[in-house]
Structure 1
């Protein structure tokens, strides 16, 4: 070989990109027919496995999970007011009458043998709930200071839990404005951080692909549903948690590999892809409803009494949610800022073509982002199921607009912007009740704040120029 040719080859080798993400090399365009068939078989197996778990879990949950006994009105309404009646020794109180009233509607129920009761109501809002003290067992009285009747208001869920305290010597203290404000602030921070888990995943996907994924709410739902399903078939709770996170990541991977990647390679526009995501969201939502059902189910340890930490009253579940969310988000930030994968992800988000020219396997980065986004959404769904509390087939879609609000408020495609925006939305949603805003307008208020901020700063709080993640 002539010396000039050898020198040219040597120079080309020296100037070629010296690193690729995890040594994942770009694959040539197109895939052999056999590879496509294997992929379709894999996706079919994943779908069949999830459906089989839901099929097994549905009857198992009815047999093993105690739930409040429905009143006749509950058969026609999706919104429910429910609770458990237990005395100061934790013994259930049966055959106690409870009434819920609002705008001419009256619903009644009697507590069952395990103390549970449930009243179906036509819509959300503020109801007057009254316990008929004449139906209490002999010697049982409401605790001192316990309001009866009392005003209760729906929050972010279609199921409202109402607790009555019983027992001699027990005093129910009413919170003053300052204490209530502090409690709502902590609850809002907890809600905002669990929103941030889902928002960060959505923001990563948008940043690397430009896709506005309306099926992200169903990824949130899937996490909670899988935990319930795995637990219902007898798996330990910790194993159910791990498998649900893996299932969320697998669902994200299957979406990208089977749907979004082929559409990207065909040059499909972002608007048609967004419309496809809406169709996917509807399909997944009602498949879950078909197998899971329309009732509200509870995860293990969902009902827990509040504990007092100084001036703050908080449930252990919300406390765990705060800690888990903060740790996971901190880890995501470290990965994005300090690791090779994080730098590659940010490079793809900034300029995919330039990232590919630099030797980064863009498809591999996007695939990892989808897996991560699915796992974060699943974790957010699990925490959301404890915050509500309850698991329903549409629980993810119920907060999808708030997730979008957090992402848009913080800055589209910016991870830390999604975190800041979600925390603002969560705190605002919880604080509205303190200042007298109707519960039905909670979400409207959060979206209004987003609109006001975007009027003065269209790129969001952390715009493109200030992007750090």
Structure 2
């Protein structure tokens, strides 16, 4: 246990040292033209930027014209799909996507809306979004589009599943809905980003990140939730505690990490083509890791003594204790396992979308939706629910704007629960 505590303390120390050094912190951010010119204090620099993707793949060489107040400059996307333009100060600007610079086969989702009005005031950096999709020149058949969306949804669903299973295991054994679970995901992404920015080996960085994430899970139970259980604190009060913990952790991340988006540099730039889908090799590796880890979790729960004990505690903690099972020990193991899985999910999600201080909180509702859809307390239900949520959110973008895709997933959740309240793999419970 001392080793775990030491690992967690090391994570905090790494964050403090890494982001406390202005030289290191500045080196990890994508430089803007103003920064490159050395215009002075970074707090006085303003920029407008974003990322342009075709599906889930970054698009290089696309230009965006930023103008306003007598200022005009063009930003060009790099290999990671990101562009940035340094502007002279706060004010009103317009960002216009230069459609003729898009590659063949890629077009704006809304060709009549390729400009964005941008106001810079309270924040130094503003990100704008230009959704793109397959153009008419290379759109292929509707089946190609469906397959592409399905593949991207499967990828997203597998990433959700790793974190959602952690939520389900914790709820099943303790009855606690942990609203700080999203911050466990963010923790894994930030720690992995720090290690890669320091030039560490990718495999070593992943292993240490998972170890530190497991330590975070252990620490939460040992310091906070076990004492609350011993004192007999009700589930509503514990729920409020998790909300408070979520807020504290989230703003600690903001303090150390600032409000920008960081891209994890893995050095892997190859693409893989599967039928009509072209994805990065990193995405394929992430999907493979997710599938392997989910298989190991299934083996753990069904074939090992600790796993069977976990399921027994989830079914009936009092009966499990009467049978000689150490319930507190099982709960502690569940917290460690949930921390490790969620930290790994953060690593993979950071590779998938980039790292931000609130990335876990942004998808927390989707994680709970996946757990509820699959069946509360069921690890396998969380997997099924995550895959359903991931696939539906991506398929829906064929007919609706991408910004609304998460709303569709929640509408589907409501529809399923109206006809099957216990979820897809949940069990009916007698009331009264």
TM over 0.5: yes
What is the aligned partner in structure 2 of residue 99 from structure 1? 65
CA deviation vs aligned residue, 1:219-265 (integer Å, no higher than 9, x gap): 00001100111222342222111110001000000000000000000
Query: 1:251 aligned to 216, 219, 231, which one?
Result: 216
What is the aligned partner in structure 2 of residue 130 from structure 1? 98
Where in structure 2 are there 5+ consecutive unaligned residues? 36-43, 54-59, 117-126
CA deviation vs aligned residue, 1:264-314 (integer Å, no higher than 9, x gap): 000000010010000000000110110111111111238745421233322
What is the aligned partner in structure 2 of residue 32 from structure 1? none
* Structure 1 stretch displaced more, 322-331 or 272-281: 322-331
Report whether the alignment pairs 1:420 with 2:384. Answer: yes
Partners in 2 of 1:226 and 1:204 — Cα distance?
A: 24
CA deviation vs aligned residue, 1:143-173 (integer Å, no higher than 9, x gap): 666659967799xxx675899xxxxxxxx83
* Structure 1 stretch displaced more, 402-411 or 308-317: 308-317
Corresponding residue pairs, total: 391
Query: 1:443 aligned to 399, 402, 406, which one?
Result: 406
- CA contact 1:68–1:82 (8 Å) conserved in 2: no
Partners in 1 of 2:105 and 2:167 — Cα distance?
A: 46
CA deviation vs aligned residue, 1:120-149 (integer Å, no higher than 9, x gap): 999xxxx8511687xxxxxxxx76666599
Distance 1:71-1:207 versus aligned 2 partners, 3 A rule:
farther
CA deviation vs aligned residue, 1:99-124 (integer Å, no higher than 9, x gap): 269xx9999643489886325999xx
Residue 354 of structure 1: how far off its partner (Å): 1.2
Report whether the alignment pairs 1:406 with 2:377. Answer: no
Query: 1:200 aligned to 127, 146, 165, which one?
Result: 165
Residue 374 of structure 1: how far off its partner (Å): 0.2
What is the aligned partner in structure 1 of residue 39 from structure 2? none
How do residues 208-247 of structure 1 correspond to structure 2 at under 5 angstroms? 208-247=173-212
Partners in 1 of 2:389 and 2:77 — Cα distance?
A: 41
Query: 2:256 aligned to 275, 284, 291, which one?
Result: 291
Larger Rg: 1
Partners in 1 of 2:408 and 2:69 — Cα distance?
A: 27
How do residues 265-344 of structure 1 correspond to structure 2 at under 5 angstroms? 265-301=230-266, 304=269, 306-344=271-309
What is the aligned partner in structure 1 of residue 12 from structure 2? 51
Partners in 2 of 1:143 and 1:247 — Cα distance?
A: 42
Normalized per residue, the structure richer in strand is 2
- CA contact 2:159–2:290 (8 Å) conserved in 1: yes
CA deviation vs aligned residue, 1:37-62 (integer Å, no higher than 9, x gap): x99x996x666533321133234654
- CA contact 1:69–1:111 (8 Å) conserved in 2: no
Secondary structure at the residue paired with 2:98?
Answer: strand
| Cα-Cα RMSD | 3.9
Where in structure 1 are there 5+ consecutive unaligned residues? 1-37, 85-91, 134-141, 164-171
Query: 1:462 aligned to 418, 425, 432, which one?
Result: 425
Partners in 2 of 1:114 and 1:309 — Cα distance?
A: 24
Partners in 1 of 2:143 and 2:344 — Cα distance?
A: 32
Distance 1:107-1:372 versus aligned 2 partners, 3 A rule:
farther
- CA contact 1:57–1:232 (8 Å) conserved in 2: no
Secondary structure at the residue paired with 1:432?
Answer: helix
